[in-house]
Amino acid sequence: MHLDSRTSWIFKFCECALAAIALLNLLLFPLEFLPFSFLEKYGQYFKYVLIGMVGVTLLGSFIYVWVWHRRERANNLYSPIQHAWL
């Protein structure tokens, strides 16, 4: 029995954005172990890194959700599997 498990576009977008932010935060975690002298010298650039991280996250989430939603509407995708991976 195949259940119709379509979800709204905004729910998918929020789910993807949160997953992408979590992944990028894990990648930025080693920055906490940098020496203080490095942070004094290059700390002013972290604001731009965070802005870029949010921009990449939103853009990547939008593209992924757009593809996901199109494939789901064409019945080429079983959406609960996508939700499980995210």
pLDDT tens for 7-26 read: 777 887 888 888 888 888 88
Q: Is residue 3 part of a domain?
A: no
Q: Is residue 80 part of a domain?
A: yes
Q: Is residue 30 part of a domain?
A: no
Q: Is residue 66 part of a domain?
A: yes
Q: Is residue 64 part of a domain?
A: yes
The count of domains in the chain is: 1
- Considering the chain, what percentage of its residues have pLDDT values greater than 70? 79
The answer to whether the CB of 13 falls within 8 A of the CB of 62 is yes
End-to-end CA distance of the chain: 24
Q: Is residue 19 part of a domain?
A: no
Tell me the pTM.
Answer: 0.61
Residue 75: domain span: 45-86
Q: Is residue 83 part of a domain?
A: yes
